[in-house]
A and B are shown apart, each in its own frame.
Chain A
Amino acid sequence: MSAAAPASRAGQVWRRFRADRWALVAAAYLALLVLVALFAPWLTPYDPERQDLLAAFGGPSAEHWLGTDELGRDELSRMLVATRISLLAVAEAMGLAVVIGVPIGLLAGFRGGLPDRLVMRLNDLVFAIPALVLVMLVIAVLGTGLGPSMAALGLVFSTGFIRVARNAVTEIRAETYLAAAKVIGVPTWRLVRRHVLPNALGPIMVQLALQCGVVLTIEASLSFIGLGAQPPDVSWGTLLAMAATSIEGADTWLVVWPGLAITVTVLALNLVGDGLLGALKPGAARPAKTPAPPPATPAPPPHVHAPEGEGTALPLQVREPEGEGAAPLLRVRGLTVTAGAAAIVSDVSFDLEAGEVVGLVGESGCGKSTIALALMGLLDEPRRITAGSVELSGTELVGAPEARWERLRGRDLAMIFQNPQASLNPTMRIGDQIAEPLRLAGHSARAARAEAVALLEKVGVPDPARRARQYPHEFSGGMAQRAMIAMAVAGRPKLLIADEPVTALDVRVREQVLDLLLDLRAEFGMAVLLVTHDLGVVADACDRTIVAYAGELVEQAPAEQLFRSPAHPYTHGLLGARPSALTGRRLPTIPGSVPAPGHWPGGCRFEPRCAHAVAGCSAAAIPTTALSGDHRSRCLRAQESPWL
């Protein structure tokens, strides 16, 4: 933050604060309240002390809007006067707290060392006693009554300001300009005024607003039990104390008004405090909306159930059915996912055979993880499947009720994630987490536990019985990912979706975990969809590869064919961007970046980054071309492949 722009920063804070409707209303109320307090003596309709015993305990009426008290005094007039006293009391207490607390805090933060530690220890100690009790102790020294009790409050609440001011200083102490200014001998008071105070002002204001509410409540409490304001001084608390003595059989209104005034005022102070806090938070702009698609280039409508074999468009059933017309394990057609107004995945179609390992590759932001989560039915709001079909062993999953998904997950479908440690429940033993899907499938607790240990052993976790009783934080990243894999395969799924399973792991461990996945695939005969940005992983592990770009699939081919003769310039670019293991030299990356959802070009989505684009590329959406039964590309120039 530059010290030269406090004015514009204040303006920015005010603009953000103003956007918070409730905080603004609250601030207006407080301003009005201050005006009432200032002009109370001229606003009272009656002399607040004029008694009229005949009119005692009169409820609200045309003459006495808020009624009259036990001596027939006008309650409205007394409330107005009490407002003045209450606000004055809070102002006194908070003024004292700021005057004592801020300089001490600034000094402690600025000096550091022993004075700082002393002040902070004392501050810690204050937390060992309720603030109200400490205030009472100080009142015992200073005496009861409005002035002394407010002084006591000010003393006790100065500790909060010490902390806030001190933290504001230590926060910017590390900044070089402060150290430099100190070295060249700029006087300390000037440093404080120019650099420290502007930085501390925000937190102090927030503290002030929030503490005012607390102090107002405590003042009322103290006055209520006779330790604070005492007649003839009336505060809201004193009025409540007097109303309480006549609560039986008397007019309840007298209890309502002062309490209502306190509650509304405290509420307003809290709202202003919260509003300030929000306005001061760096980058606290209103949540960014999902970008709407630009009207000039609307995303092509997903053609969901395109007629088969139309022109060069992807024939939906190009893959030769294996065996006698057997349906593939997983059949995805025209899958489209939107978030708000924008599509983030559009018209995705592919098959997955039982026992097959398929890589789903692309740069980050291409929609790979969204596709993976969609297949698991795990998309979070606002992402939703808006078109297309996902069939698992011939059963449609899109639109299935959550209960059906819950039965499928863990048994037919399983998934492992990129960050194994964050993906494990930190408060549950590893063994219990692995056993959970087995328990859900109906195994006894004992059998599930034994199976969990056996699974840990199978995934190569040494000393599995002991490790099963440990918690995730006791596992290394590689071991945690093995545990995740054990958990995923516990239910013997037909399809395992692995979303960047080795990206977060040490290079050394990557290969081991990858090998483990392949071994388990062979043993259990499950299909694996390996989502990764790393083509090296694909080369090592996959039978077939699918390439995603900007929310759609651009190429599918058997792995070795894709590496040998990529039929899409994006795939070619990805291959080129791969660090060469032989030379260790990183080849040129693809220039530019993946366009964000909602900003996809109308024609080929890769066209703006493509070195081989021709006139037709940007004209219209590019259909998928089948090069051979197993090789498809969404490129106009796939046949000639000029990049090869």
Chain B
Amino acid sequence: MRKVLLERLVSLPLVVLAMSVVIFGITYLVPGDAAESAAGVQADAAQVERLRQKMGLDAPLPSQYLSWLLGAVRGDLGRSLVDGAPVAGTIADRLPVTLSLTAAGAVVACLLGVPAGVLAGLRPRSVWDRLATAGASVGVAFPAFWLGLILVALFSLRLGWLPATGYVPPGVDAGGWLAGLVLPAVALGLTPAAALARQMRTSIAEVMDSHYVRTARAKGVPRGRIVRRHALRNAAGPVVTQLGFWVAIMLGTSLIVEQVFSLPGLGGAMSNAIMQHDVPLLVGLALVLVVVVVLVNLAVDLCLSALNPKARQA
């Protein structure tokens, strides 16, 4: 476990660094001139030129990147071209919303997908299995934001059970925070739940067919204990891998879903940054998302090595 952690701690910053080059390179191509937009429409060419020098925009790309990187390491991601607000501050305000939503989506995915998959996998070709398999096929096809709209129409507008919009920080009102997250989390988590159910089904069915489960039966271990003590842990590996993969996808999808529920996450900032060519904000947002994905992958690796003693050595 320690070895995996050490290895990752070396390689992960490198991945983030490489991604920052890619992101910086892409956004360098964003049309529009930052100095021009910062100087305003009234500025003449000389003023714009002075501003450009002041902002360091006349420097070659590598040196621009380096000075950005030096700032980023210290937590300074620059200022927005539109309102001059520090990018790091905007992200710090909005990141908790996106993380809450994604985490809640992951919880929904696990709560729905794992039991459905286990039930189906333990009784292949049963009614349960057919239901879960059909449900998973359809569930994978739902666009999350549409599901969000339907849920709002049904549970907020028709039935009035849950709030349609708004975000309450957990520090202010934990209950309100949770209530506001239920519908978006279900919208976000359904597709991953379907995918997890599929994976769990295959995985547990395979394990229940294994030699070591037969051994456990030969020892007289009752079926329930076999599932709990022998099968689940061995079947969990591929499911955890799959979950990590889907959390990264959910992170992206949450940027859309949050807008259905008017949650103040990174998605709104992202849309604005794209439409207003706000390059520093764009770079900061993309980078922080990369960091989250990389950390999720780290968590997956740690989980896998905790689950499987063989992976700990490798």
Contact = CB atoms under 8 A, between A and B. Distances in A.
Contact of B137 (A240, A271, A415): A271
Given A133-B289, A409-B218, A437-B220, A263 B30 contact: no
Interface string A127-164: 11111110011111101100000000000000000000
B138 interface: yes
A39 to B, nearest CB: 25
B253 interface: yes
A408 B221 CA distance: 10
A529 B44 CA distance: 99
A262 B143 contact: yes
Contact of A487 (B219, B274, B286): B219
Contact of B150 (A255, A405, A415, A424): A255
By DSSP majority rule, is chain A's interface helix, strand, loop, or mixed? Answer: helix
Interface residues of A, number: 74
B119 interface: no
Interface stretch (A61-69, A222-230, A532-540, A590-598): A222-230
Given A140-B274, A378-B214, A422-B210, A252 B141 contact: no
Contacts of A425: 212, 215-216, 230, 234
Nearest to A268: B141
A136 B220 contact: no
A424 to B, nearest CB: 6
Given A244-B149, A252-B153, A426 B220 contact: no
A489 to B, nearest CB: 11
Interface residues of B, number: 73
A141 B289 contact: no
Interface stretch (A182-190, A213-221, A308-316): A213-221
Contacts of B310: 426, 471, 473
Q: Which 7 A-B pairs have the closest CB atoms?
A: A130-B252, A410-B220, A132-B252, A259-B146, A409-B220, A267-B141, A266-B141
Contacts of B307: 427
Interface in B90-106: none
B5 interface: no
Given A221-B256, A224-B256, A411-B220, A129 B277 contact: no
A263 B143 contact: yes
Interface in B19-41: 19, 22-23, 26-27, 29-31
Nearest to A437: B219
Contacts of B253: 130, 132, 221
Interface in B246-266: 248-249, 251-253, 255-256, 259-260
Nearest to B259: A225
A69 to B, nearest CB: 15
Given A252-B153, A409-B218, A427 B293 contact: no
B140 interface: yes
B172 interface: no
Interface in B140-166: 140-143, 145-147, 149-150, 152-153, 157
A604 B256 CA distance: 73
B255 A133 contact: yes
Interface of B: 15-16, 18-19, 22-23, 26-27, 29-31, 137-138, 140-143, 145-147, 149-150, 152-153, 157, 209-212, 214-223, 225, 229-230, 233-234, 248-249, 251-253, 255-256, 259-260, 267, 270-271, 273-275, 277, 279, 282, 286, 289-290, 293-294, 297, 307-310, 313
Contacts, number: 207
A491 B220 contact: yes
A140 B289 contact: no
B157 A248 contact: yes
A471 B218 CA distance: 20
A244 B310 CA distance: 51
Interface in A398-433: 402-403, 405-411, 414-415, 417, 419, 422-428
Given A140-B274, A262-B146, A424-B212, A129 B152 contact: no
B248 A130 contact: yes
Nearest to B21: A125
Contacts of A263: 138, 141-143, 146
A408 B220 CA distance: 7
A129 B289 CA distance: 7
A423 B210 CA distance: 8
A423 B309 contact: no
Contacts of B147: 259
A423 B217 CA distance: 11
Given A125-B19, A410-B219, 19 more contacts: A129-B290, A131-B252, A132-B256, A137-B23, A138-B26, A244-B149, A259-B147, A263-B146, A266-B143, A267-B138, A408-B220, A423-B214, A423-B215, A426-B234, A440-B225, A473-B309, A484-B215, A487-B215, A488-B218
A389 interface: no
Nearest to B191: A217
B256 to A, nearest CB: 5
Contacts of B140: 266-267, 270
A199 to B, nearest CB: 27
B294 A128 contact: yes
Contacts of A248: 157
A587 interface: no
B260 A409 contact: no
A256 interface: yes
A447 interface: no
B271 A227 contact: yes
Interface string A14-37: 000000000000000000000000
